[in-house]
Chain A
Amino acid sequence: MSEIKHEWPLYEVFVRAKRGLNHVHVGSLRAADPEMALHHARDLYTRRNEGVSIWVVQSDDIVASGPDDKDAFFGPSGDKAYRHPTYYAIPDSVPHI
């Protein structure tokens, strides 16, 4: 009986813990369709008031940078210290800055 070739697709689950916070990735689950994914996410990831809102998205639809892209992606910001406030020397005598 377990000859079915295609498993249900994989969905990634994101939960907003409370108002004012971003949705955060909490894990994945299998579901036949998005609606079922949402219901399963509720049962699986919010059994103890862990959230007030859930997003589900099919894992295949996520576009992600890979570990090999790390230098190309994040290297360039390494030498731009002038983007940080501490780069600028201001005398202590100047208030509120």
Chain B
Amino acid sequence: MSEQVFEATIAKDQRIEPRDWMPDGYRKTMIRQIAQHAHSEIIGMQPEGAWITRAPSLRRKAILLAKVQDEAGHGLYLYSAAETLGADRGDLTRRLIEGRQKYSSIFNYPTLTFADVGVIGWLVDGAAICNQVPLCRSSFGPYARAMIRICKEESFHQRQGYELLMTMMRGTPAQREMVQDAVNRWWWPSLMMFGPPDGESPNTAQSMAWKIKRHTNDELRQRFVDMSVPQAEALGVTLPDADLRWNAEREHYDFGEIDWSELKRVISGDGPMNAERIANRRRADEEGAWVREAAAAHAAKKQEVPA
């Protein structure tokens, strides 16, 4: 009976809400996906956060602060969605710190220059938008609603990045070189953000059937490439792919082979920054513990003594 209601709700393109009956697999998949997404937002504060104290102007510093604060907010919207499924926020954080849950591989690359801040906004947040816009129609209500909120804010992230790069491209030859270098380093990892190719993505079929996912990894990756090429031209940078060219027959850009061994390496913990990212998150958790405990103790004391 309940299963019929669930299937019918999905078939009618309506949303599943937290207290509805759902298959165990659906609940597990949703918790895993939402937690992974939340962790990515939280870890994602680090690469750009590293530049807040070194931003070249007060304007850029204010923008960067607002952006990193947004990433924290996005993580919290998502933990909130995960909690509607019975997951516990503290437990999810422990799973992240202990390496039992993953986050996006993209945040395991270092931000070497200020141009990286711009390229992350343009390419990394651009790829995130490609991924996230269809998730606004994901079948799980709280996740879809969190994604709507997030997508509204991501647009600012992408535009500030592109504007930053345009400003640098109008600068000195050294600044233009810095932008090109950042593009060279971030382009391929950005393409990897969409996950393994469809043939090697075992969960895609079930996630599409449950309408958790609306497009395959390869479809979204192609959409991102098609969007990015004209943006790169307008900016005046070269995307580092000799095989990148318009295919009039397909009406899409063809692009070169992705080094999937690199993605596997980074996902399994062997990226340039994996250890540092998790160590920072662990330190923040441990060093903040006394504050959380003190606040809880204060709240308990206030409740005991009537004012």
Asked if A33 and B298 sit within 8 Å, CB to CB, the answer is: yes
Asked if B285 and A2 sit within 8 Å, CB to CB, the answer is: yes
Known: A32-B299, A33-B298. A27 touches B80 (CB 8 A): yes
Asked if A4 and B20 sit within 8 Å, CB to CB, the answer is: no
Q: Tell me what chain B mostly uses at the interface: helix, strand, loop, or mixed.
A: helix
Q: How far is the CA of A8 from the CA of B76 in the complex (A)?
A: 14
A10 within 8 A of B: yes
A32 in complex: contacting residue of B149, B153, B298, CB < 8 Å? B298
B88 within 8 A of A: yes
Closest beta carbon of chain A to B178's beta carbon, Å:
31
Known: A44-B73, A66-B19, A67-B19. A1 touches B286 (CB 8 A): yes
Known: A27-B80, A29-B80, A66-B19. A1 touches B298 (CB 8 A): no
Which residues of A sit under 8 angstroms from B17, Cβ to Cβ?
67
B70 within 8 A of A: yes
Asked if A8 and B292 sit within 8 Å, CB to CB, the answer is: yes
Which residues of B sit under 8 angstroms from A32, Cβ to Cβ?
292, 295-296, 298-299
On chain B, which size bracket covers the interface?
Answer: 20 to 34
- Whose C-beta in chain A lies nearest to the C-beta of B69? A47
Q: How far is the CA of A30 from the CA of B82 in the complex (A)?
A: 13
Asked if A7 and B89 sit within 8 Å, CB to CB, the answer is: yes
Q: How far is the CA of A75 from the CA of B21 in the complex (A)?
A: 19
Closest beta carbon of chain A to B94's beta carbon, Å:
6
A22-35: CB near B (< 8 Å → 1, else 0) gives: 00001111101100
User: Which 3 pairs from chain A and chain B are nearest by CB?
Assistant: A32-B295, A33-B299, A32-B299
Interface residues of A (CB under 8 A from B): 1-2, 4, 6-8, 10, 26-30, 32-33, 36, 43-44, 47-48, 64, 66-67
**Sample of 14 further A-B pairs with CB below 8 A, known A27-B146, A48-B153, A67-B19:** A1-B289, A2-B90, A2-B94, A2-B285, A4-B296, A7-B89, A7-B90, A26-B149, A28-B80, A29-B76, A30-B89, A36-B295, A44-B77, A66-B19
- Would you mind naming 28 contact pairs between A and B with Cβ atoms under 8 Å apart? A1-B290, A2-B94, A7-B88, A7-B89, A7-B90, A8-B292, A8-B295, A8-B296, A10-B83, A26-B149, A27-B80, A27-B142, A27-B145, A28-B83, A30-B89, A32-B292, A33-B298, A36-B295, A36-B299, A43-B73, A44-B73, A44-B76, A47-B66, A47-B69, A47-B73, A64-B19, A66-B19, A67-B20
